[in-house]
Amino acid sequence: MDSQQIYETSHMISSENLDVRTITMGISLLDCIDSDSTRACEKIYDKITTKAKDLVKVGQEIESEYGIPIANKRITITPISLIAAASGDNDYVKYAKTLDKAAKTLGVDFIGGFSALVQKGFQEGDKILINSLPQALSETNYVCASVNVGSTRSGINMDAVKSMGEIVIKSAKLDYMTNTKLVVFCNAVEDNPFMAGGFHGVSEPDCVINVGVSGPGVVKTALEKVKGQSMDVVAETIKKTAFKVTRMGQLVGSVAAKKLNVPFGIVDLSLAPTAAAGDSVAEVLEEIGVSQVGAHGTTAALAMLNDAVKKGGLMACSHVGGLSGAFIPVSEDAGMIKAVENGMLNIAKLEAMTAVCSVGLDMIAIPGDTPAETISGMIADEAAIGMINNKTTAVRVIPVPGKKIGDNVEFGGLLGHAPIMAVSNADSSVMVNRGGLIPAPVHSFKN
């Protein structure tokens, strides 16, 4: 980078909310499998605390040496349903508490991978893990969970879809904050550094460093300089900005991997907003030209933003992966919150937007009396968008007991706050209760 680029990057950090959202260490636990769950948990704790013992320290060193803020230091691990299945335990809460203890010892922000991959059917360990989710998440502080219920290659496991609607309701009754740590995926990826859906896939190295960058504020500032110009110019401006942001992410990832003596994995290009002023994907879309998110044209603007970010990032880094798109979590984005409060944005429009962005219906607060079948229907819709479009989609909804449409709920920290959004009051139970498998689409047959 020349002196001008260094100056621009420094200005992005000081004035435009640019940060590295996370450095995430992925750790394989396959060598921790044991038929005795106590021994397995001891091995898990020892391996995580050994491999990641310097993760937080290295992150702080990079912040000090390079002046680049790193908002989170996180860990992902092999899906616990695969590790715990060798034991004869009837629940896997012990494993979740082991992960929580390790995260606390290390001082990391989150540990992800209390997960199951059930897109084509259940193994016994998957069923036990899913049934353990409410208790495991409500009794831990740092553990994040995910369940993959569908894929383009496999179709959608509707029995799992039904189960996850029920689990979300059970979790909400224990503690509604539990569902902020639970994601239901279609086409989940193995190298996602972001939470709550991160886990370490079985095809990944034994240990690896992945980086998630951010920067919606940087993109918005760049677009303010091309007001009134054509969409070609807008796309090119976003590409150039994404290039600079990704370069920073690659630098941080490479340095962290070298200091920790582990391979550098990927940079995830996702634009991850926060509820802070000037750090909003919604405001980027409004700078492109829609008066407020939810207006007609919003989906087109988001599609262009997502594509331009990927094009710029791919030129900047040879190892790109994860989710790599624009996140649109309602509670974590000040512009999204405002659009909901003004009646401009609803779940139907958000669903349409998820067809062209990263992830899906994310951090959406809904009435506490929402039926489980309605939540399952929302999961099925998002999974179908992911399956047909060969992309990752997900649902992270939070039923809040005692709250009704228009009320507000405070999540705190990076999770922000959210107005309670309306869901359809039409019944989805007949379809959800059919169970079985929605077959994979014809275009999945590519061998």
DSSP string, 276-308: STT--HHHHHHHHT-SSTTSTTHHHHHHHHHHH
Q: pLDDT digit of tens for each residue in the chain (447 aa)? A: 554 555 456 555 544 556 778 899 999 999 999 999 999 999 999 999 999 999 999 999 988 888 888 888 999 999 999 999 999 899 999 999 999 999 999 999 999 999 999 999 999 999 999 999 999 999 999 999 999 999 999 999 999 999 999 999 999 999 999 999 999 999 999 989 888 889 999 999 999 999 988 778 888 888 989 999 999 999 999 988 888 888 888 888 889 999 999 999 998 888 777 666 567 888 899 999 999 999 999 999 999 999 998 888 888 787 887 887 778 888 888 888 889 988 899 999 999 999 988 778 989 999 999 999 999 999 999 999 999 999 999 999 999 999 999 888 888 777 778 899 999 999 999 999 999 999 998 887 777
Where are the alpha helices (H) located in 211-357, listed in sequence order? 216-224, 231-260, 281-288, 298-316, 334-341, 347-353
**What is each CA distance from 139 to 48, 144, 214, 224, 409, in whole angstroms?**
20, 12, 30, 46, 21
What pLDDT score was predicted for residue 3? 47
Residue 241's Cβ-count burial label (10 Å; 0-12, 13-18, 19+) is: buried
CA distance 158 to 142: 29
How confident is the model at residue 446, as a pLDDT? Answer: 76
Give me the pLDDT at residue 4, please: 52
Task: Give 93-96's long-range contacts (Cβ < 8 A, gap of 24+).
Answer: 93/132, 93/135, 93/136, 93/139, 94/37, 94/38, 94/41, 95/37, 95/40, 95/41, 95/44, 95/136, 96/132, 96/136, 96/137, 96/139, 96/140, 96/143
pLDDT value for 358: 73
pLDDT of residue 17: 55
Asked if 268 and 323 count as a contact pair (C-beta separation under 8 A), the reply is yes
- CA separation, residue 274 to residues 243, 326, 336 (Å): 21, 12, 10
245: left (phi over 0), alpha (psi -120 to 50) or beta: alpha
pLDDT at 54: 95
pLDDT of 70: 85
Which residue from 175, 184, 172 is spatially nearest to 139, judged by alpha carbons? 175
φ/ψ (deg, to 5) at 217 = -65, -35
Global pTM reads 0.90
**Closest Cα partner for 343 from 426, 423, 424, 422?**
422
Residue 264: per-residue pLDDT: 93
Residue 348: per-residue pLDDT: 92
**CA atoms of 34 and 40, how far apart (whole Å):** 5
Phi-psi category of 289—alpha, beta or left, where left has phi over 0 and alpha has psi -120 to 50? left
CA distances from 351 to 165, 272, 304, 386 (A): 17, 18, 17, 11
pLDDT of residue 276: 65
pLDDT value, residue 196: 86
Q: Cα-flanking dihedrals φ and ψ of residue 382, to 5°?
A: -65, -40
Question: What are the beta bridge partners of residue 182?
Answer: 145
